[in-house]
Amino acid sequence: MSILPQLVFILVIAVAAYILFKRVRYLRRNIFLGKGETRNDQQDKRWKTMLLVAFGQQKMFKRFGPAFLHLLIYVAFVIINLEVLEFIIDGISGSHRIFAPFLGAAYGVAMNIFEFLAIAVLVSCVAFLVRRNVIKVERFTKPEMKGWPSLDANLILVIEIILMLAILTMNATDQILAARGVDHYNLLNGLFFSSMIQPLFEGMGDASLIFIERFAWWFHIIGILGFAVYVTYSKHLHIFLAFPNTWYSNLKPKGEMKNMPEVTNEVNMMLGLATESAQEPPTEIGRFGAKDINDLTWVNVMNAYSCTECGRCTAECPANITGKKLSPRKIMMDVRDRAEEVGKSLDKGGQGLEDGKSLLGDYITKEEINACTSCNACVEACPINIDPLSIILQLRRYVSMEESASPAQWNAMFQNMETSFSPWKFPPTDRFNWADKVKNEEVK
């Protein structure tokens, strides 16, 4: 028997592995363009968060219909890919259904489960295509979804449908050949779903069936490898990044804003209190807030690469609902696009972050970040705990503290807080006058 197919298979695996390695290294470099941040505290809580939110998809089920369909695809992705292990062993060794003789009747049961999941994926993907292109759910039609984001979502759904059809076609032709006693094929205990399409192939000769079965087998395995590479260019990178993203979630209460250590230390020093760290002051003055991705933390950039572009954050954003330009989803997409632009520039020996562009201004406008109410609705809505508000606040801090370009009303409020310790312009000694008035009215 020729070993050429096995050599070709090994070559395909090697090429896919090499491309994946390069992509993972590229993405890691881009993510760590952000500043350092340590989030390894409360590890028990982090494990629980990851298991419930990423693995258990806890937050998805706020909308049961799409959540159930997504769960079917997710479960199928995990379980059907167990079959890929058999594909790889068969491809390297030249065997066919190598686990069948060892598992006996259980193998047929497993194949029926895989086929059921394949049908579930087909139905779910069709439903999602209808939601996006026929019903046109509003959050999928926002301006930031025009062009590639919309095409990307549709492409992945179509690819999944084709891969599932390949599985069913492979099993149908495989079992016809096995029933005819063709060497190399194992007759299984009734594959329910693929048997329904067997009549399409019954009139074909053995050679034609072998060609179709082998083509479907190769198409599926190459499709799986191609899919693995494709997701690193796609919003579907969340399939893998959802787990570290939820692990590094912000575990502080939703309403608690992170203080700037530079400012906190300055205030403590002025009050004669101990500073947060005894380290030497930096030789170069740091930037207050964030203007570009290197001013954000690496967790912020990872959030951007983890974004599913589902739009739940934007659908819940009160600013967006009332017609403001702010879209939390667009904020995350802009951060990712800027990281990609800088990464590609660095790979080509370009200027990288020194290209004359910045996240604030060239991607995200002041109008967008000023529209944010800091309500945390976007953070609460995200299925994988992405935090757009953290990025918005850092950009606003830069505008306020570095450019002094906050809206006039805000500047007046800042001044009142500095002089009167409240947003309103009256002295602290008059703060409780309202209580005296209430008391006097009660006496009357």
**CATH number for position 182:** 1.20.950
- What pLDDT sits at residue 441? 76
Q: Please count the structural domains in the chain.
A: 2
On whether the CB atoms of residues 72 and 124 are closer than 8 A, the answer is yes
Domain identity same for 218 and 300 = no
Q: Which value, in Å, is the radius of gyration of the alpha carbons in the chain?
A: 28
Domain identity same for 240 and 295 = no
Domain identity same for 324 and 228 = no
Q: Is residue 443 part of a domain?
A: no
Domain identity same for 241 and 317 = no
What percentage of the chain's residues is helix, strand, coil (to nearest 5)? 70, 0, 30
Cβ-based neighbour number of residue 407 at 10 Å: 12
- What pLDDT sits at residue 70? 92
Extract the tokens encoding 416. 């009142």
The label of the residue with tokens 């001044």 reads 415
CA pair distance 325, 370, nearest whole angstrom: 10
- What pLDDT sits at residue 329? 97
Extract the tokens encoding 365. 């406008």
Domain identity same for 300 and 386 = yes
- What pLDDT sits at residue 258? 85
Element (H, E) at 434: helix 433-443
- What pLDDT sits at residue 122? 95
| Residue among 197, 360, 218, 349 at smallest CA distance from 290 | 360
Extract the tokens encoding 337. 């696009």
- What pLDDT sits at residue 419? 85
CA pair distance 303, 297, nearest whole angstrom: 10
The model carries a pTM of 0.89
Residue 388 CB partners (closer than 8 Å, separation 6+): 303, 313, 328, 329, 331, 332, 378, 379, 382
Domain identity same for 335 and 404 = yes
- What pLDDT sits at residue 281? 53
Domain identity same for 242 and 335 = no
Domain interval for residue 11: 4-31+63-247
On whether the CB atoms of residues 379 and 385 are closer than 8 A, the answer is yes
Strand partners, 364: 360
- What pLDDT sits at residue 62? 84
Domain identity same for 85 and 166 = yes
CA pair distance 277, 264, nearest whole angstrom: 11
pLDDT tens figures, 258-293: 888 777 887 788 777 776 554 555 545 568 899 999
Distances (CA, A) of 426 to 47, 60, 114, 409, 412: 48, 47, 70, 16, 13
Domain identity same for 235 and 330 = no
- What pLDDT sits at residue 275? 64
Strand partners, 35: 297
CA pair distance 222, 210, nearest whole angstrom: 18
Domain identity same for 291 and 212 = no
Residues of the chain with pLDDT under 50: 278, 283
Domain identity same for 294 and 243 = no
- What pLDDT sits at residue 423? 85
CA pair distance 22, 436, nearest whole angstrom: 70
Element (H, E) at 80: helix 64-80
Domain identity same for 337 and 395 = yes
Q: Is residue 282 part of a domain?
A: no
Q: Is residue 142 part of a domain?
A: yes
